């Protein structure tokens, strides 16, 4: 079957098909489509996941072997196949063979770039359409972008006026990943306030140098000095502490949950998949979870709670100085403090 992106949410509430092909050249929408399928699969018992990167030298026997092997823990399994180039004869046959023998215990999800018309007519694509679903990701054109931005803003609880949406659409020039990041930054910077066009113009420009998400990534990379400079920049630019701490605390909660699962003996890849960590951020999480253990992360969560109460005036202290401490500890350094 062919499945439109706007049909996906309803489809995923039903038992999943054995194979999905996601094709298109819009990275954000393709990534979120894959994330949605993986989340639905986990909810339906597909706990184990194996990633296969199919480049020009890929041995397609690995797909066959992976599809026939039993899960180590007896769970249902996702085969996450990243297609980097053309399948070729062997790859096409391997996918066809999988479709013909597909059972209930293994789900194959193939992520590819944009396939041309000839590729979409291929035997392997037809086999997927017969047993599973083909999901084509279409780009958002210039005329549709303001509506997409408005819907995205509503989804994350950001109140932004029509002028602000128009300015943002012009600024991101059709780059949906950049657009999504700018909306998230605005939500962090302004919280529940309504955002006007003038504020979009000022905040998007001023946050280009220092933003919360870059700060968090620097912290997880152990770049303490750079992170402290970014934090100072955010403070100078008037970033609101409470929503900023909300973003940092969410990251801490995810790290702490992962650390707890690791302490119980789960494998790191399985843990990160279960926590919904995006593939591009997994190296940051692995690095942090190696050097900072569960007890320290629990302590940092208590510190984050204290900072939030201090910003709200419900507890004495200097919140920005406390954030300096949190940033240093999370990046693996100790900050000398007086008293």
**Is 281 or 71 the better-scoring residue by pLDDT?**
281
Instruction: Tell me the average pLDDT across 201-227.
Output: 76
Residue 80 has pLDDT above 50, yes or no: yes
Is the pLDDT at 212 greater than 60? The verdict is yes
Choosing among 3.20.20.140, 3.40.50.970, 3.40.50.300, 3.30.2350.10, the CATH entry for 5-137 is 3.40.50.300
Coil vs helix vs strand at 72: coil
More confident residue, 126 or 336: 126
Pick the closest to residue 284 from 304, 245, 255, 259 (CA basis): 255
Residue ranges of the chain that CATH labels 1.10.8.60:
145-208
Residue in the structure block whose two tokens are 């910003």: 311
pLDDT for 208 beyond 60 = no
Q: Which residue's structure tokens are 């926590």?
A: 275
Q: What is the mean pLDDT of residues 235-252?
A: 83
Structure confidence at residue 339 (pLDDT): 38
Q: What is the mean pLDDT of residues 241-247?
A: 84
Those residues whose C-beta lies under 8 Å from the C-beta of residue 106, and which sit 6 or more positions away, are 18, 67, 76, 77, 78, 79
Sequence-distant contacts of 101-105: CB under 8 A, at least 24 apart: 101/67, 102/18, 102/19, 102/131, 102/132, 103/18, 104/18, 104/76, 105/71, 105/76, 105/77
State the pLDDT at residue 258.
92
Q: How far is CA 286 from the centre of its chain?
A: 15
CATH 1.20.272.10 positions along the chain are: 216-330
Asked if the model's pLDDT at residue 30 lies above 70, the reply is yes
State the average pLDDT over residues 107-123.
89
- Can you say how many angstroms the Cα of residue 284 is from the centroid of all Cα atoms in its chain? 13
Q: Which position has the higher pLDDT, 30 or 204? A: 30
Distance (Å, whole) CA 206 – CA 200: 10
The pLDDT of residue 337: 47
Give per-residue pLDDT as tens, 121-180: 989 999 999 999 999 988 887 788 899 999 999 888 888 988 889 888 877 767 787 788
Domain at 216-330, CATH class: mainly alpha
Q: Phi/psi of residue 73, each to 5°? A: -105, 10
Residue with tokens 């529940």: 192
Q: What average pLDDT does the structure give for the chain?
A: 85
Whether the predicted pLDDT of 333 surpasses 50: yes
Q: What is the mean pLDDT of residues 74-92?
A: 84
> In this predicted structure, what is the pLDDT of residue 338?
43
Domain 145-208 has CATH 3.10.20.30: no
Question: CATH 3.40.50.300 residue ranges in the chain?
Answer: 5-137
pLDDT at 23: 92
Place of tokens 């030298």: 57
């Amino acid at each position: 079957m062919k499945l439109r992106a706007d049909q996906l949410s309803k489809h995923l509430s039903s038992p999943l098909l054995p194979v999905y092909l996601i094709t298109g050249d819009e990275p954000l929408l393709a990534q979120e489509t894959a994330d949605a399928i993986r989340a639905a699969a986990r909810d339906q018992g597909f706990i184990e996941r194996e990633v296969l990167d199919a480049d020009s030298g890929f041995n397609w026997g690995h797909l066959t072997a992976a599809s026939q092997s039993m899960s180590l823990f007896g769970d249902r399994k996702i085969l996450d196949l990243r297609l980097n180039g053309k399948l070729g004869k062997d790859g096409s046959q391997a996918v066809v063979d999988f479709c013909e023998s597909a059972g209930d215990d293994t789900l194959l999800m193939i992520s590819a770039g944009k396939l041309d018309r000839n590729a979409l007519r291929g035997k392997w694509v037809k086999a997927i359409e017969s047993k599973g679903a083909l999901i084509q990701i279409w780009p958002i054109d210039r005329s549709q972008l303001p509506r997409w931005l408005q819907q995205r803003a509503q989804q994350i609880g950001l109140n932004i006026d029509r002028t602000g949406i128009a300015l943002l659409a012009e600024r991101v020039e059709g780059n949906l990943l950049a657009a999504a990041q700018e909306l998230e930054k605005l939500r962090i910077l302004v919280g529940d306030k309504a955002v006007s066009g003038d504020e979009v113009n000022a905040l998007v420009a001023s946050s280009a140098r220092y933003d919360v998400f870059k700060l968090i990534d620097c912290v997880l990379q152990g770049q303490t000095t750079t992170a402290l400079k970014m934090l100072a920049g955010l403070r100078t630019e008037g970033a609101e502490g409470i929503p900023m701490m909300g973003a940092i605390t969410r990251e801490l909660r995810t790290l702490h949950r992962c650390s707890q699962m690791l302490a119980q003996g789960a494998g790191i890849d399985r843990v990160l998949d279960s926590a919904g960590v995006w593939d591009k951020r997994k190296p940051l999480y692995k690095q942090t979870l190696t050097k900072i253990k569960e007890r320290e992360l629990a302590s940092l969560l208590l510190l984050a709670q204290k900072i939030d109460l201090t910003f709200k005036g419900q507890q004495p202290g200097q919140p920005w100085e406390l954030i300096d401490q949190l940033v240093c500890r999370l990046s693996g350094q100790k900050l000398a403090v007086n008293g």
